[in-house]
Each structure stands twice: as structure tokens, then as C-alpha cells.
Amino acid sequence: MDKDMLMWDETIFRDGSVLELDHLPDHFSHRETQMQSLMYSLRPALRGMRPINSLLSGPPGTGKTTTVMKVFGEMKKHSENVVFVKVNCQMDSTKFAVIARVYKALFKVSPPASGVAFRKLFEKVMNFLVENEKTLVVCLDDINYLYHEGNADDVMYSMLRAHEQFPGAKVGVIAIVSDTGKLYQFDPKVNSVFLPEEVAFPRYAYDELQDILGRRIDLAFFPNVVSDEVKDAIVGYVDMTGDLRVGIDLLKRSGLNAERRASRTISIEDVESAYENSRLLHLGRSIMSLTPDERTLLELIAKQRECQTGELYKLFHEQTGLGYTRFYDMVNKLNDARYVSTDFSGKGTRGRTRIVKPRYQPEDILKCLE
Ligand SMILES: Nc1ncnc2c1ncn2[C@@H]1O[C@H](COP(=O)(O)OP(=O)(O)O)[C@@H](O)[C@H]1O
Ligand SMILES: [Mg+2]
């Protein structure tokens, strides 16, 4: 019997649960400044005052959501009259879904799934806050998924001006934008009331990734499962994307690869083959949130690699039967969510001709669409 072989009832994972994506780490460093900033903005709520609104921005996997969860956890200990709600806009991507999430947090039951308007639920939520003298702190996480059809502007506007319609209502908004490029511009009417404290989340530096991933490895695996060499390789991969979520997924998949080989240690090859999948994790998860028509459109764009909106519309219409307005909205949504880029061609003076290109490798998009 080879004692280097893992037995069927043995495992290299000391605690695999710390590699799940919704795991909230006990130890959270390198984000002290951001945590402080958010705490200061929310602190007025503990004294019955309206909190300062915040805008958190930075690339995916830089600790934005975790920061909010940590701060909420800390503040909940000191504040009976504040209700903290985090809405994942990737999951709840309509106005109704957002307010339904808040409603559920307050009333502990879901509102009826149909036949109730946003306004109606909003009214119930605000009346509840006023009557019970509660302050609402609502985090709209990954608000970029609400950008289409003016949803983000509508939700923000309603929340930010709630006190005008419901005197005494106290609402603080934390908007989280996952983005690397130019930030979305809210509608001017939103900007006139949204003067947030801005908190930036830069990519983690190499040594920060090393520290964070090192800790996670120590918790997740038994000693000596991950050699220094393998650890460096993992940190190197994560440093390329800058996305810690990719890193944590990579640890999990590498570990599973090693177990599949009945090995007591993770090899470089285990990491390499895991990386192929982890790299696409982010893209795949966000593509899942698109509607079937949007996916059709994205697929066409990936297959064409580069095309003018005119040609693209023809193909899209043939396949879906949908009209130009819907098409136009969807192209804008894919652009806003940074799946594709759209640039005016400069050719022709007729105005609206744009060149549409995928921002990812077309093969990667097609693989995630499968
Ligand atoms: N400073 C940190 N220390 C430990 N784990 C972290 C840290 N920052 C992020 N993580 C982990 O990385 C993953 C992604 O973080 P998350 O807060 O979801 O990023 P974002 O919301 O910016 O996309 C989470 O699983 C989280 O536990
Ligand atoms: Mg997040």
C-alpha cells in the first residue's frame, strides 16, 4: 500500500467550507481604511440621525461585499433601531425585486409575487420605518445589474427622497459598483440628491494576495498539502486577474483535482487545470443572470467578433423576431455591463452606426453560454 495515496475516506481539506464563495472570513485585513470610512458614514444612524450615503467602487473580488457585511455585523451589535439590508442586484435585478427584498427583511415574509406594484411595497416599507422609528440602511450590491431600463435611477431616487414623501423616514443608501472603468453616471435627478462618500477598493497588491490566500490555505487544508511553490503559483494566477474570488475558487478546484488523483498534496498541474475553469467563473456567473434574448444577442456578438449595429440587428431580428427598440436597449445593457464595447465607427454621417465588439475572448463567452 502506497502511503502517499489518499484513502477513499480521507481528505486533504481541514475545513472546505472556508472556500465557499459566501463564506465570511473571520480575519479580514487590508481593508481597514474602507471599513473605517463606511463606519463613519453609518454612525449617525446609531444616534437616530440619517446616515451619510456611500458609493463603494472597484473591480470584482476586491472585498467590497465583505466590507459591508463586516461593518453591518459590527454595527448590528450596537443598534436596535437600525435595520441593515443587503440586496444582491445580480439576483434581484428589477425595482420590484429590490423592494421585495427590503420588505422581506422588515416583515420576515415575502410580499405576494405578483399583483403588487413597487410603489405599494415602497409605501408599506416607509410607513413601517416611520411608525416604528427605525432607520433603514440599504446596500445595493452590484448595482450595475440594475442599470438597464432606468431601474437603478428609479430605485435610488425613490430611496433618497423617501423622507420628502414620508416625513420622518430615515434611509441611508450604500451603492456598490463593480467596475474597473469609468463609473456609470446616474440620472441628473439622482445626482442632485446623491452626494455620497466615495470609497475606493483598489486591486490587492501581490503581497496582500499572498497574505490573504496564505491564511485561507491554512484554514482550508491540512499542513503540507500546499507547498510554497504551489502557493506562489496560485498567488501568481490570482494576481493576473486581481480577483480574489477567482483565487478562492482556484484553491477549491485545485484541492478537488488532487483528491481525484488520490494525492495528499496539490501539484502545479492540479492548479493549472483548475485555473481554466476558475478564470471563467466570474464571466459564467454573470452571464447566467442575462435573459434568454440577451444571451442570444451576446452569442451573436461573440460569433461575429466585430460587427456594425445594422448587420447585428438583422441577425438578431431573424432569430428572435424582436424589434429595434428592444435590440437597442439590449446592446446598451451589454455595453453597460461591460460584456461588449460599442464605438461609433466614424464612418458615414447618418448617426447611429456603431461597431460592437466582445470585451472577452469570444471562445470564453461561447463556452460560458453553453
Ligand atoms: N481582505 C480580505 N481578507 C480575506 N478575504 C477576503 C478579503 N477580501 C476579499 N476576500 C474574500 O474574497 C472573496 C471576494 O470578496 P468580495 O467581498 O465578494 O469582493 P467584491 O464584493 O469586491 O467582488 C470573498 O470570498 C472574500 O471572503
Ligand atoms: Mg461583491
- 310 Cα–ligand 1 center, Å: 41
**Do 306 and 365 fall into the same domain?**
yes
The whole-number pLDDT of residue 350 equals 56
Substitution candidate for ligand 1 out of 35, 57, 66, 87 with most atoms within 8 A of CB: 66
65 is in an annotated binding site: yes
Does residue 251 lie within any of the structural domains? yes
Pairwise CA distance, residues 330 & 334, whole Å: 6
Q: Is the beta carbon of 90 within 6 A of some atom in ligand 1?
A: no
The whole-number pLDDT of residue 178 equals 80
The whole-number pLDDT of residue 180 equals 56
Domain of 309, CATH number, reads 1.10.10.10
**At 24, phi and psi to the nearest 5?**
-100, 115
Does residue 300 lie within any of the structural domains? yes
- Nearest CA owner, ligand 1 atom 13: 245
62 is in an annotated binding site: yes
The whole-number pLDDT of residue 345 equals 67
Residue 170, amino acid: K
Does residue 16 lie within any of the structural domains? no
**Do 66 and 193 fall into the same domain?**
yes
**Do 314 and 281 fall into the same domain?**
no
Average pLDDT of span 277-285: 75
The candidate with the shortest Cα–Cα distance to 274, out of 289, 259, 257, is 257
- 27 Cα–ligand 1 center, Å: 11
What percent of the chain has a predicted confidence (pLDDT) above 90? 68
Pairwise CA distance, residues 80 & 191, whole Å: 31
The whole-number pLDDT of residue 243 equals 85
Last residue of some domain: 184, 200, 216?
A: 200
Task: Write out the three cell numbers for 148.
Answer: 438597464
The whole-number pLDDT of residue 317 equals 97
Pairwise CA distance, residues 370 & 362, whole Å: 13
Q: How many residues are recorded in the chain?
A: 370
Task: Give the pLDDT band of residue 98 (cuts 50, 70, 90).
Answer: very high
Q: Please report where in the chains the cell 478562492 appears, as a residue.
A: 248
**Do 253 and 304 fall into the same domain?**
no
Domain of 265, CATH number, reads 1.10.8.60
Instruction: Tell me if 151 sits within 8 A of 94, measured CB to CB.
Output: yes
64 is in an annotated binding site: yes
Q: Is the beta carbon of 62 within 6 A of some atom in ligand 1?
A: yes
The whole-number pLDDT of residue 352 equals 61
Average pLDDT of span 70-92: 94
Does residue 25 lie within any of the structural domains? no
Pairwise CA distance, residues 288 & 295, whole Å: 9
pLDDT of 305 above 60:
yes
The whole-number pLDDT of residue 3 equals 66
- Nearest CA owner, ligand 1 atom 17: 63
- Nearest CA owner, ligand 1 atom 4: 28
Instruction: Tell me if 257 sits within 8 A of 266, measured CB to CB.
Output: yes
Last residue of some domain: 200, 216, 244?
A: 200
**Do 126 and 65 fall into the same domain?**
yes
Taking only the tens place, the pLDDT of each residue in 124-167 is 999 999 999 999 999 999 998 887 778 899 999 999 999 999 99
Task: Give the pLDDT band of residue 110 (cuts 50, 70, 90).
Answer: very high
Residue 205, amino acid: A
Instruction: Tell me if 243 sits within 8 A of 60, measured CB to CB.
Output: yes
**Do 38 and 183 fall into the same domain?**
yes
Q: Is the beta carbon of 66 within 6 A of some atom in ligand 1?
A: yes
Q: Is the beta carbon of 244 within 6 A of some atom in ligand 1?
A: yes
pLDDT of 360 above 60:
yes
Q: Please report where in the chains the cell 460560458 appears, as a residue.
A: 368
The whole-number pLDDT of residue 85 equals 98
What percent of the chain has a predicted confidence (pLDDT) above 70? 94
The whole-number pLDDT of residue 279 equals 73
Last residue of some domain: 200, 232, 263?
A: 200
CB-based neighbours (< 5 A) of ligand 2, an ion = 64-65
**Do 159 and 215 fall into the same domain?**
no
Q: Is the beta carbon of 31 within 6 A of some atom in ligand 1?
A: yes
Average pLDDT of span 76-89: 94
Which ranges in 221-341 belong to alpha helices (H)? Answer: 228-241, 244-260, 268-287, 292-304, 309-320, 324-336
216 is in an annotated binding site: yes
67 is in an annotated binding site: no
3-state secondary structure (DSSP) of residue 194: coil
The whole-number pLDDT of residue 196 equals 94
Does residue 236 lie within any of the structural domains? yes
Q: Is the beta carbon of 60 within 6 A of some atom in ligand 1?
A: yes
Neighbouring C-alpha atoms within 13 Å toward the C-beta of 119: 1
- Give the number of domains in the chain: 3
**At 9, phi and psi to the nearest 5?**
-100, 10
Our measurement of the distance from residue 54's CA atom to the centroid of its chain's CA atoms, rounded to an integer in Å, reads: 16
CB atoms within 10 A of CB 327: 19
Quote the mean pLDDT of the chain.
90
Pairwise CA distance, residues 369 & 29, whole Å: 36
Task: Give the pLDDT band of residue 183 (cuts 50, 70, 90).
Answer: low
**Do 278 and 323 fall into the same domain?**
no
* DSSP secondary structure letter of residue 221: B
Q: Is the beta carbon of 279 within 6 A of some atom in ligand 1?
A: no
The whole-number pLDDT of residue 137 equals 98
Ligand nearest to the CA of 69: 1
pLDDT of 120 above 90:
yes
Does residue 12 lie within any of the structural domains? no
Residues with Cβ < 8 Å from 85, sequence gap 6 or more?
Answer: 101, 102, 105, 106, 136, 137, 138, 139
Average pLDDT of span 262-276: 94
Higher-pLDDT residue of 266 and 282 is 266
Average pLDDT of span 106-125: 90
Ligand nearest to the CA of 281: 1
**Do 327 and 346 fall into the same domain?**
yes
User: Residue 253 sits in which domain range?
Assistant: 204-286
pLDDT of 272 above 90:
yes
**Do 253 and 155 fall into the same domain?**
no
Does residue 14 lie within any of the structural domains? no
The whole-number pLDDT of residue 60 equals 84
Instruction: Tell me if 198 sits within 8 A of 158, measured CB to CB.
Output: no
- DSSP per-residue codes, 50-84: PPPPEEEEESTTSSHHHHHHHHHHHHHTT-TTEEE
pLDDT of 115 above 80:
no
**Do 36 and 152 fall into the same domain?**
yes
The whole-number pLDDT of residue 79 equals 86
Residues with Cβ < 8 Å from 313, sequence gap 6 or more?
Answer: 324, 327
Pairwise CA distance, residues 257 & 251, whole Å: 10
Ligand nearest to the CA of 282: 1
The whole-number pLDDT of residue 354 equals 86
